[in-house]
Amino acid sequence: MASFYGKTPEFDAAMTATIEIFRQLCELEERAGIEVQTMDALRLMGDDTAGENIREKKLQAIRAMRTIYLGVPDVGLRKELIRTRREMDKANRAVQSLAEKLDDTREKDPTIGADWFNENEEVTGERDGSFDQDIQCREK
């Protein structure tokens, strides 16, 4: 049986955990009334197509997020936002690490994790959109 994200069960578990943390973070940001501001801050990273320094853009976005979070007047909510953001960053690093390891392994054996796309796409020609719905949480 193929894994949901088409990698490995370990990767699936890490990705599922990351998505759950992301949902929690979205809910906290909405409760704090800062969801639009945080999305704008994340857009600062943009893309690296113009050869701009992505590291500098990332630091700029992190500084903007920090300012937004520290501006939340409810101290308890602010602490929860910061804790959840740190948890999200840690989960993202874990997923990235697993993806890099799998990519290294796939170079040696291309059949490992070859079913990258959702199984539903192979059967119906359509993606089920579950991952897209998780990501659109910020796009309200």
Of residues 66 and 138, more confidence is placed in: 66
Average pLDDT of the segment spanning 19-38: 96
Owner of token pair 């704008």: 40
Q: What is the pLDDT of residue 103?
A: 74
Residues 103 and 7: their CA atoms lie apart, in Å, by: 10
Write the CA distances from 59 to 86, 91, 120, 132, integer angstroms.
15, 19, 38, 26
d(CA 14, CA 5): 11
Model confidence at 16: pLDDT above 70: yes
74 or 112: which leads in pLDDT: 74
CA distance 140 to 121: 26
Confidence of residue 128 (pLDDT cuts 50, 70, 90): very low
Domain boundaries, the chain: 9-139
Q: What token pair was written down for 7?
A: 């990698």
Transcribe 45-114 into DSSP letters: T--STT---HHHHHHHHHHHHHHHHHT-S-HHHHHHHHHHHHHHHHHHHHHHHHHHHHHHHHHH-TTTT-
Q: What is the pLDDT of residue 45?
A: 75
Q: What is the pLDDT of residues 77-110, one digit of tens each?
A: 999 999 999 999 999 999 988 888 877 776 666 6
